[in-house]
Structure 1
Amino acid sequence: MSEKPKSTGAPAHQNVTFPSAGSTAHGYLALPPSGRGPGVIVIQEWWGLTNHIADVADRLAREGFVALAPDLYGGNVAHDTDEAVRMMQELPVPRGVELLSGAVDHLLGLPEVTSDTAGAVGFCMGGGFVIYLAAADPRITAAVPFYGVIQGELPDFSALRAQIQGHYGELDGTIPVEKLDELRAAIQHQAGITPDLRLYPAGHAFFNDGRPETHDPRSSAQAWQSTVAFLHDQLG
């Protein structure tokens, strides 16, 4: 692990390693200017741990959170859609959840983290993993999937503790509105929790400002403001 940078009034960030799922995992850790705050896991898109995901962690740190973005691809980043699909398919959902639970272990063990539970924010593939992780790990009490892609069957939500605020594009052909209705109904039935699944006049990946072909600035700003308020409400 690299030496922690000194506080300069801006978020401090570093690459970190930690034990997870029987091996050594890597990630990107961002600390708030105060040095302490509630913990949030940031889960990558199918591209990998890109500059965009690191920037999301930095943005969360500026809002007062300790943000950890675990690297689910072991340092690899996809450069085109075919490669991204292959890399996502090579990461089985149970293995991804196992790796993410290890990241939660590490995050909640940090002395800088003031919360007893954690939030999770993820995008595309990572948005789906937010849902899978929250269903499997009751230490996640605030879940924020952005256009979360569910791979295969919905998980069992009977152990879910997290409140959920989801952000989806109504023009996103990969996640039809009826799929959101199925997700909402399953969570309500199995966990007794009503997720807040919000629609925006945008398409898939509307939050990714590194991809101008999909980025929707207005929808992104609205979703981000809601996300930060939600995480503070749930985690402190």
Structure 2
Amino acid sequence: MGKLTFYSSFLITTLLLSHSNLHAEIKSETIKYEVGGQPFQGTLSYDDSIKGKRPGVLVVHEWWGHNAYANKRAEMLAKLGYTAFALDMYGTGKVADHPEDAKKFMEATLADMKVAEARFNAALKLLQQQSTVEAGKIAAIGYCFGGGLVLHMAKVNPDLAGVVSYHGALGIAANTQPVSKPVKTKIMVFNGADDPFITQEQIAAFKQDMKSIGADYEFIDYPGVKHGFTNPEADAFAKRFNMPLAYNEKADKDSWEKTQMFFKKIFK
């Protein structure tokens, strides 16, 4: 009887834990929307076991387009208790598997910053309208192309509580005029010191720009770290296309930990 009682208790406990884990499973939903008559498709992720509203975070993809990596980051944010939306800046189906296509998609998007802003803001509004989101507490994170874009949006959209850029293209926001000074949006930048796409001149210009607009920002430079350091697929891309990319686990984990602290601060 003792063994049977123990087994029954163990089985009940296991079933309860399994039920609890199932209940807390992260929900990810594909959301289709339109901007300027063009179709777009993003992914919304959240923890349905959390009751009530919570802060929302937009995830802006690398130059490859809205892909599995962007969705993964949205799921990671959902596990932290946020509602995250991995948006689409290029349009439905425009996901590159070659640098030449990625460059074309990115350049076409950045050719008219008003169009780029409209696409970002449409996703922002969509996120704010979700029943799980506290509309007044929104942040954005971005990688590569996306990192540069969120830096641009920090200057022109005061509705953003904060933005985080990972190996972002600093040049995208270089000439952006802020809607007001000082800029209210708090800014965090993670950069690889050995990233050949980001020059020392660009970094100096960025810091001077932040100072001139009165931005509350932090710039973290990781010694010996290359472009794409947060993406585990960076090494495969580097080998396949002979590009100066490299994943760096230490920098990836450190930047993510600092991002979590940043969000706790801005979402108080």
TM score, norm. by length of structure 1: 0.90
Displacement of 1:50: 1.2
Post-superposition CA distance 1:164-222 (Å, at most 9, x none): 011000000111233122112112212x1241010112110100112235110011000
1:170 aligns with 2:190: no
Asked if residue 226 in structure 1 is aligned to residue 258 in structure 2, the reply is yes
Secondary structure, counterpart of 1:42 in structure 2: strand
Give the structure 2 partner of residue 10 of structure 1.
25
Hey, what does 1:198 align to over in structure 2? Answer: 220
CA distance in 1, matches of 2:122, 2:39: 10
Is the CA contact 1:115–1:235 (under 8 Å) kept in the aligned structure 2? Answer: no
Report the counterpart of residue 177 of structure 2 in structure 1: 156
Residue in structure 2 matched with residue 235 of structure 1 by the alignment: 267
User: How far apart are residue 228 of structure 1 and its match?
Assistant: 1.4
Q: CA, structure 1 residues 13+220, in 2 after alignment: closer, same or farther (shift >3 Å)? A: same
Aligned residue-pair number? 229
* Larger relative contact order (Cα-Cα within 8 Å, sequence gap ≥ 6): 1
- Matching of residues 172-187 of structure 1 within 5 Å: 172-187=195-210
Q: Distance in 2 between matches of 1:196 and 1:180?
A: 12
Greater Cα offset, 136-145 or 29-38: 29-38
**Residue 48 of structure 1 contacts residue 72 of structure 1 at CA under 8 Å; is this kept in 2?**
yes
For residue 91 of structure 1, give the secondary structure of its aligned residue in structure 2: helix
> How far apart, in 2, do the equivalents of 1:89 and 1:138 lie?
25
Q: Tell me which residue corresponds to 1:26.
A: 41
Equivalent of residue 49 in structure 1, options 50, 61, 66: 66
Deviates more, 1:47-56 or 1:176-185: 176-185
SS at match of 1:209: coil
Any conservation in 1 of the 2:154–2:187 contact (CA below 8 Å)?
Answer: no
Flag structure 1 segments of 5+ consecutive residues without an equivalent: 1-6
Return 5+ residue gaps in structure 2 as ranges: 1-21, 239-245
Aligned residue for 1:76, secondary structure, equals coil
Q: Greater helix percent: which structure? A: 2
Moved more, 31-40 or 137-146: 31-40
Runs of 4 or more above 6 Å deviation: none
Query: Could you list the per-position Cα deviations for residues 50-100 of structure 1 after superposition, in whole angstroms to 9, with x for gaps in the alignment?
Result: 111110000011111110111112221111111111111111333122100
Q: Which residue type is aligned with residue 194 of structure 2? A: L
In 2: Cα distance, 1:229 partner to 1:68 partner: 20
1:15 & 1:139 partners in 2: Cα distance? 24
Q: 1:100 aligns with which of 89, 114, 120?
A: 120
Larger-Rg structure: 2
Shift of 1:158: 4.6
CA distance in 2, matches of 1:143, 1:225: 15
Q: Is the 8 A contact 1:142 1:234 kept in 2?
A: yes
CA-to-aligned-CA distance 1:122-171 (integer Å, 9 cap, x gap): 00100010011111111111110112112374211353321101100000
Superposition RMSD on alpha carbons, in Å? 1.8
Instruction: Provide, for residues 3-29 of structure 1, a one-character-per-residue CA deviation record: whole Å limited to 9, x for no partner.
Output: xxxx73121101012354455532110
Share of identical aligned residues, percent? Answer: 23
Over 3 Å counting, the alpha-carbon distance change for 1:157 and 1:107 in structure 2 is same
Q: How far apart, in 1, do the equivalents of 2:30 and 2:45 lie? A: 9
Indicate if the aligned counterparts of 1:157 and 1:187 stay in contact, CA closer than 8 A: no
